[in-house]
């Protein structure tokens, strides 16, 4: 290190002036350059590290044994190293539903971060769009009751509590084609997803055995995100047919004493739970109502299914009176409650004054009700009767 003498202009005394490396180090600009260099070195190293991590993630996505958690974690690296392309590939070709759903969730995270272009957003919705139909494929030709059909649809891997785009950010509208109903061919109001279409078809509206083809025509639009767009989605069909040999009684199972006892023990009448909202009332006649009518409670661990008409009988009053229906699949578990009513056919004057009455419920097999529910497989053929329960009749 070298120093040179120089006279100070203020006091005339000589002072040492650094030269060479000492001068360079003493220069304030050196500190600025050093700071910039350090920042570049750290930032560049960080980018290199991120790039290496992204490449490892992309390599993992390309593996045939990639796991769902690895797929979803890849979203943390954004679009680096072709990760978005690998995610779209897995969404369409992954071997398991779990990996496909993980790819969809990862892409939805990129979408929420605005890392996808509009066409990629549309492609994600198109590829993820799914419809689940709830109906039978085959019905008896002699079926007389309307057939209820349900179609639930949307993008199933989107979750409301996840980090990606939420189902509520997509609004849906749909039409049903092929049901021979004009009102079903009109687009439904827009509803935030997932979507649900419930409707019935009349067996008599279909002259031939079939197969008859229904189709869900849905459209979707984005709300509350950076880009707003709307697209039509592919029509996803469902086919059913009528069988001239199949009878409505084909659902009835055989009756035996052990199962009859189990079925009888599975039903009972119970009073409703008390609430601060006040009493419930069920119409009886023009002048009288039941206060807090009981519920029919079914223990659904059944040896057979229920597809039964519900009737009620009042002690001392001749006849049974229609009060609804009960359909329960024996594969369900737990308890189910069914409200009684409306009560149909009770003549005025049969019960003429307020007071306590005893009532019981009678369930009579109706296999046509079973055909309307695709989960019902074997309907108990016998009649089931509950114990008597006390109810209160009051004036309106």
* CATH number for the domain harbouring residue 236: 2.60.40.10
Indicate whether 357 and 293 sit together in one domain. Answer: yes
The structure tokens 């120089």 sit at 6
Range of the domain at 268: 250-395
CB 233 within 8 A of CB 218: yes
Rounded distance between C-alpha atoms, residue 31 and residue 122, angstroms? 51
Name the range with the highest mean pLDDT among 54-58, 92-96, 293-297.
Answer: 293-297
Residue 12 placed within a domain = no
Residue 2 placed within a domain = no
Residue 260: which H helix or E strand, with range?
helix 257-265
- pLDDT, one tens digit per residue, over 116-168 is 889 989 999 999 999 999 999 999 999 988 999 999 999 999 988 878 889 99
Residue 355 placed within a domain = yes
CA 5 to chain centre: 86
* CA neighbor of 323 nearest in space, from 306, 308, 304, 336: 308
* CA neighbor of 280 nearest in space, from 391, 134, 360: 391
Indicate whether 291 and 313 sit together in one domain. Answer: yes
Residue 295 placed within a domain = yes
CB 396 within 8 A of CB 289: yes
Q: Which residues of 276-287 are buried (b: 16+ CB within 10 A; e: fewer)?
A: eeeeeebebbee
CB 326 within 8 A of CB 370: no
Residue 350 placed within a domain = yes
The strand pair at 306-314 and 355-365 is best described as antiparallel
Q: How many CB atoms lie within 10 A of CB 326?
A: 19
The structure tokens 């690296």 sit at 77
Indicate whether 271 and 374 sit together in one domain. Answer: yes
The structure tokens 């009060």 sit at 323
Indicate whether 153 and 219 sit together in one domain. Answer: yes
Indicate whether 209 and 279 sit together in one domain. Answer: no
Return the DSSP state at 235: P
Rounded distance between C-alpha atoms, residue 270 and residue 277, angstroms? 19
Indicate whether 138 and 91 sit together in one domain. Answer: no
What's the average model confidence in pLDDT over 182-199? 93
Question: Could you give the percent of the chain with pLDDT greater than 70?
Answer: 78
User: pTM for the whole thing?
Assistant: 0.74
Q: How many alpha carbons fall within 13 Å on the CB side of residue 392?
A: 10
Indicate whether 347 and 328 sit together in one domain. Answer: yes
Measure the CA angle with vertex 272, ends 268 and 277; round to 5°. Answer: 170
* CA neighbor of 147 nearest in space, from 210, 83, 93, 53: 210
Indicate whether 120 and 138 sit together in one domain. Answer: no
Residue where a domain stops, chosen among 127, 153, 171: 127
DSSP 81-114: GGHHHHHHHHHHH-SSHHHHHHHHHHHHHHHHTT
As a whole number of Å, the CA-based R_g of the chain is: 36
Give the number of domains in the chain: 3
Indicate whether 324 and 378 sit together in one domain. Answer: yes
Residue 97 — φ and ψ, nearest 5°? -60, -35
Rounded distance between C-alpha atoms, residue 187 and residue 214, angstroms? 15
Indicate whether 213 and 112 sit together in one domain. Answer: no
Q: Is the pLDDT of residue 193 over 70?
A: yes
Q: Pick the residue with more confidence: 197 or 193?
A: 197
Compute the CA torsion angle 277, 322, 296, 333 (nearest 10 deg).
-120
| Distances, alpha carbon 366 to alpha carbons 45, 176, 373, in Å | 75, 29, 12
Residue 69 placed within a domain = yes
Indicate whether 259 and 360 sit together in one domain. Answer: yes
Residue 306 binned pLDDT confidence (cut-offs 50, 70, 90)? very high
Indicate whether 36 and 154 sit together in one domain. Answer: no
Residue where a domain stops, chosen among 246, 277, 293: 246
- pLDDT, one tens digit per residue, over 341-352 is 898 888 877 888
Residue 11 placed within a domain = no
pLDDT at 275: 67
Rounded distance between C-alpha atoms, residue 329 and residue 375, angstroms? 6
| Distances, alpha carbon 185 to alpha carbons 161, 181, 298, in Å | 34, 7, 38
- In the three-class reduction of DSSP (H, G, I as helix; E, B as strand; rest coil), residue 16 is classed as strand
CA 250 to chain centre: 32
- pLDDT, one tens digit per residue, over 251-260 is 999 988 888 9
pLDDT at 240: 96
Residue where a domain stops, chosen among 96, 127, 158: 127
Residue 322 placed within a domain = yes
């Amino acid at each position: 290190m070298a120093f040179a003498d120089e006279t100070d202009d203020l006091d005339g005394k000589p002072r040492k002036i650094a030269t060479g490396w000492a001068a360079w180090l003493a220069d304030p600009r050196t500190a600025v350059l050093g700071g910039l260099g350090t920042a570049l070195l750290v930032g560049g190293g960080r980018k290199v590290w991120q790039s290496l991590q992204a490449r490892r993630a992309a390599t993992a996505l390309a593996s045939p044994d990639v796991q769902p958690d690895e797929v979803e974690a890849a979203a943390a690296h954004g679009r680096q190293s072709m990760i978005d392309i690998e995610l779209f590939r897995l969404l369409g070709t992954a071997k398991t539903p779990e990996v496909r759903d993980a790819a969809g969730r990862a892409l939805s995270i990129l979408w929420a971060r605005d890392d996808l272009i509009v066409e990629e957003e549309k492609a994600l919705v198109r590829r993820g769009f799914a419809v689940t139909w709830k109906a039978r494929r085959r019905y008896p030709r002699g079926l007389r009751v309307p057939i209820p059909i349900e179609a639930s649809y949307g993008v199933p891997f989107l979750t409301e509590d996840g980090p990606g785009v939420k189902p509520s950010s997509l609004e849906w509208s749909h039409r049903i084609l092929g049901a021979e109903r004009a009102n079903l061919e009109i687009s439904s109001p827009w509803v935030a997803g997932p979507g649900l279409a419930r409707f019935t078809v009349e067996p008599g509206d279909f002259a031939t055995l079939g197969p008859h083809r229904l189709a869900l025509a849905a459209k979707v639009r984005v709300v509350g995100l950076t880009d707003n767009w709307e697209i039509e989605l592919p029509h996803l069909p469902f086919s059913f047919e009528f069988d001239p040999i199949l009878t409505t009684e084909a659902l009835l199972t055989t009756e035996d004493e052990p199962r009859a006892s189990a079925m009888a023990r599975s039903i009972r009448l119970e009073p409703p739970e008390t609430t601060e909202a006040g009493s419930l009332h069920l119409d009886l006649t023009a002048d009288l109502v039941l206060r807090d009518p009981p519920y029919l409670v079914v223990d659904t661990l059944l040896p057979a299914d229920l597809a039964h008409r519900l009737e009620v009988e009042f002690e001392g009053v001749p006849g049974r009176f229609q009060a609804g229906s009960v359909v329960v699949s024996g594969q369900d578990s737990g308890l189910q409650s069914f409200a009684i009513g409306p009560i149909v056919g009770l003549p005025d004057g049969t019960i003429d004054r307020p007071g306590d009455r005893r009532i019981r419920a009678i369930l009579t097999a109706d296999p046509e009700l079973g055909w309307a529910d695709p989960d019902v497989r074997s309907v108990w053929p016998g009649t089931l009767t509950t114990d008597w329960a006390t109810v209160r009749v009051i004036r309106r």
